[in-house]
Amino acid sequence: MVVLSSRPILENFVTPRKFTAGVPVVDLSRHDAKTRIVAAAEEFGFFKVINSGIPIEFLENLEKEARDFFKLPLPEKQKPGAGNPYGYGNKNIGAKGDVGWVEYLLFTVNLNSGELFPGISTSLRELLIQYTQIVKRMASEVLELMAEELGVPARDCFSKMINEENSDCLFRLNHYPPSPAMNLVGFGEHTDPQIISVCRSNNISGLQICLRDGGWLAVPPDHTSFFFNVGDSLQVLTNGRFKSVKHRVVAEGIESRISMIFFGGPAMNVVIKPVTALMADGEESFYNEFTWSEYKKSAYKTRLGENRLRFFEKFSLQ
Residues tagged active-site: 257
Burial readout 131-159 (b: 16 or more C-beta within 10 A, e: otherwise): bbebbbebbbebbbbbbebbebeeeebbb
Q: How far apart are CA 146 and CA 78, in angstroms?
A: 39
- How many residues does the structure list for the chain? 318
Q: How far apart are CA 162 and CA 189, in angstroms?
A: 25
d(CA 78, CA 88) in angstroms, rounded, equals 6
The one-letter amino acid at 244: S
Query: Which value, in Å, is the radius of gyration of the alpha carbons in the chain?
Result: 19
| 238 close to 272: Cβ distance less than 8 angstroms | no
Distance CA 64, CA 61 (A): 5
The Cα 318–Cα 315 span in angstroms is 9
Burial grade of 254 (CB within 10 A; 0-12, 13-18, 19 or more): exposed
CA distances from 7 to 1, 2, 88, 162, 182 (A): 14, 11, 20, 36, 11
